[in-house]
A and B are shown apart, each in its own frame.
Chain A
Amino acid sequence: MADILQKIASKLYQGEEEEVAELVQQVLDQGMDPQEILSGGLIAGMDEVGRDFKAGDLFVPEVLIAARAMHAGMNVLRPLLAESDVPTAGRYLIGTVKGDLHDIGKNLVKMMLEGAGFETIDLGADTKPDAFVDAVREHQPKIVGMSALLTTTMVNMKTTIEALEEAGLRHTVKIMVGGAPVTEAFAEEIGADAYASDAASAVEVARSLVA
């Protein structure tokens, strides 16, 4: 049995999503405890991914495909696990604000967050304040991240925060902002909780917000 868990971990590391899902189903059928499969197989695999990513041996696309394999395994396990047992660094709602099509930075941050174990919900580019509000209501994220590249659109970060306040949802989330013209001072001025200057530091800031 331990061999199969080892195999799950290593298939996860290689990003073989179908095989991971099949193996998880197989050990479940053999009667193994879902919690044990989770910690001994999936989490063990992701831990190794995290270690090697940090050491520079794994590249971001490889981390993403491993994360996808993790999700495939989780989809099999989730119905059998208590909510509190589902591992996630936190749910993160992300989007580029209204009027702004620039989504490269936003996509980078999203990828890095996923690699770090966050569950992300991506609202895409040109996201209107109402769309943020609706998504916060629906998904109840821990963090909302907003991106803007233009000085003309960064003001929509403020509008979005105001919309969340009006909807009575502001206190339920932490808000992070970023993008080329955005500064720490601007983040403070509009009432965001945090600012990150690039994708790597966004992950660290997000971690500290949910810690």
Chain B
Amino acid sequence: MMNTLHSQHSLYRSVVFRSLTDDQIARLHEASLEIMARTGMRFYDQEALDLFKKAGADVSDGNLVRIPPHLVEWALRTVPKSITIYDRDGRRAMALGGYRSYFGVGSDCKYIYGPYTGERRQAVLDDVVNGVHLVDALPNLDFVMSMFMPADVPVETYERHQMEVMLRESHKPIVFVGLEAASTVDAVGMAMAVAGGLESLQRYPFVINYVNPTSAFKHDQEGVQRLLFAAERNLPTIYVPVDYRGMTAPVTIAGAMALSNAGQLAGLVLSQLKREGSPFIWGAAGGSTLDMRSMVASYAAPDRGLFGCDLAHHYGVPIFGTAGCSDAKVFDAQAAAEAAVSLFANVVAGVNLIHDIGYLDCATTGSLELVVFCDEFIGWIRRYLQGQLEISEETLALDLIHEVGPDGNFLETGHTLRHCREDWLPNLLDRRDYNNWVAAGATTLQERANQRVREILETHRPKPLPDEVQRQVKAITQHADAEARRTA
């Protein structure tokens, strides 16, 4: 074999995808700064108002905060540009930042298609357990969320039950939601019990606090307190104001982006005022799409694109996005297409935390089968994007080509034997010829996905938490339950 040394290599490892020009990014950023300084936004929390006032923001009309641009620029300098998230056992699990993508399910679907009945019914705590087991077992999913809102535990404390299950039933990092500040205090308390104290949780954070303030204009007290609580402890928060184009924000994408970005920048400033350098994760700004025929909020509309992702990359902060979900009512061809395309789009845009995998019916119903399908498809995308072309003597195989020539074949060569296992192979997607497919039961993708869900639920047993830790975690849930009964 020739021994050639090449200089001047250029190697493209991935698709390059950007949707905003530098000029557009600058214009949107200026627009957000103008909204913050001119119109202002309301913060329904005294500590937040005090922090803003002390830093020189203009607070008027009780709780209307106008934030000067220099505070935003300061906060953008102090916020960490990348965040390492660990698993429950303290191993590195996600290096959030840059164009690295990690995947997880969503939270709080009210309904599920039962894996054994196929029937759509209200979700219960056992479904939360099943969802967590699935994520724990699937190789391409990186973080856990609750998936379901359980109907069989007290409504005042269901978030504690979800957190307990997520900590107990998976070793993967957790993104937890909380509508109330008190449930976040408990969630962090449980995580501390698992980590063995606050210091160790801070050193190896494996839980992420996900806050949805009311809107870019209105930052509700519970949401703000949850942000401040985590920032004080140097724990990461995803802060995504809930805006709907045409409702709480302009219907045009640029205006909605400028406004929702302003809401995120305001949250960023607050987090840095509470604790300089505390980790903060962006949402893909732009406001959700309402279907103007029905006012249904779509989870798979193409309109907003991933413009917000370019903004976050410009700021250099980790970004959280939504994909692998669908507006379809059942796991059908629409669901598979919307889930697959949105996953691909999010990955090439460089979204770091991709959540809501498995959502159907605009986030009303969770499908374990769709989760399994997405895991498979993430494998497809991983292979497609990592499939850099290696050009070498071995891979070009010019000597072999010459030896085999027009009259031979490559099947029986050592070269083929050496490399024949390098291609990505599907697990759920079917490639058999027709007769073999029939012989194997003539199953559809939906049936195979359901089969895979059942196999995992029946066989996968996550690594258990030590008994004593389980007891400490459970005690927090039990305490909250008792409190709820007492005040009922």
Q: Which residues of A contact B (CB under 8 A)?
A: 53, 56, 58-61, 101-102, 104, 107-108, 111-112, 149-152, 154, 180-181, 183, 185-186, 198-200
Contact = CB atoms under 8 A, between A and B. Distances in A.
A60 B293 contact: yes
- Interface pairs A-B: 7 shortest CB-CB: A59-B292, A101-B220, A150-B179, A101-B214, A56-B293, A152-B180, A108-B295
Interface in B127-182: 149, 151, 155-156, 158-159, 179-180, 182
Contact of A60 (B44, B158, B292): B292
A108 B155 contact: no
B186 to A, nearest CB: 13
Nearest to A100: B220
B248 A151 contact: no
Given A58-B293, A108-B247, 7 more contacts: A56-B293, A104-B242, A111-B295, A151-B158, A152-B156, A154-B155, A200-B294
A112 B156 contact: no
Contacts of B110: 183
A90 to B, nearest CB: 20
Given A59-B292, A181-B155, A152 B179 contact: yes
Contacts of A104: 215, 242, 244, 247-248
B117 to A, nearest CB: 20
Nearest to B111: A197
B218 interface: yes
A11 B292 CA distance: 21
Contacts of B220: 101-102
Contact of A151 (B156, B218, B293): B156
A60 B222 CA distance: 32
B246 interface: yes
B480 to A, nearest CB: 11
Interface of B: 44, 108, 110, 122, 149, 151, 155-156, 158-159, 179-180, 182, 214-215, 218, 220, 222, 242, 244, 246-248, 292-296
A46 B193 CA distance: 61
Contacts of B179: 149-152, 181
A199 B122 CA distance: 19
A200 B108 CA distance: 21
Given A102-B214, A183-B151, A150 B293 contact: no
12 contacts: A56-B293, A104-B248, A150-B180, A150-B222, A151-B158, A152-B180, A180-B108, A183-B155, A185-B151, A198-B296, A200-B294, A200-B295
A198 B108 CA distance: 16
Nearest to A186: B155
Nearest to B247: A104
Given A102-B214, A107-B247, A152-B222, A60 B180 contact: no
Contacts of B159: 151
Contacts of A58: 293
Contacts of B294: 60, 200
Contacts of A180: 108
A108 B294 CA distance: 10
Contact of A181 (B149, B182, B246, B292): B149
A148 to B, nearest CB: 10
A77 to B, nearest CB: 30
A200 to B, nearest CB: 6
B218 A101 contact: yes
A181 B214 CA distance: 15
Contacts of B214: 101-102
A168 B244 CA distance: 39
B136 to A, nearest CB: 27
Nearest to B222: A150
A59 B108 CA distance: 30
A60 B155 contact: no
Contacts of A150: 179-180, 222
B149 A60 contact: no
A189 to B, nearest CB: 10
B248 A59 contact: no
Contacts of A152: 156, 179-180, 182, 222
Nearest to A99: B221
- With most chain B CB atoms within 10 A of its CB, the pick from A107, A108, A111, A154 is A108
A6 B214 CA distance: 44
Contacts of B215: 104
A186 B156 CA distance: 12
A192 to B, nearest CB: 15
A199 B292 CA distance: 13
Nearest to A109: B295
- With most chain A CB atoms within 10 A of its CB, the pick from B149, B159, B294, B296 is B294
Contacts of A107: 247
A80 B66 CA distance: 50
B216 to A, nearest CB: 12
A109 B285 CA distance: 25
A199 B295 contact: yes
A112 B214 CA distance: 21
Nearest to A150: B179
Nearest to B363: A180
Contacts of B149: 181
A36 B354 CA distance: 59
B165 to A, nearest CB: 17
A151 B295 contact: no
Contacts of A151: 155-156, 158-159, 179-180
A151 B180 CA distance: 8
Contacts of A181: 149, 155, 179
Nearest to B179: A150
A101 B44 contact: yes
- With most chain B CB atoms within 10 A of its CB, the pick from A56, A61, A151 is A151
A188 B295 CA distance: 27
B448 to A, nearest CB: 32
Contacts of A59: 292-293
A53 B292 CA distance: 10
B357 to A, nearest CB: 20
Contacts of B155: 151, 154, 181, 183, 186
Contacts of B156: 151-152
- With most chain A CB atoms within 10 A of its CB, the pick from B44, B108, B156, B293 is B293
Contacts of A149: 179
A186 B295 CA distance: 25
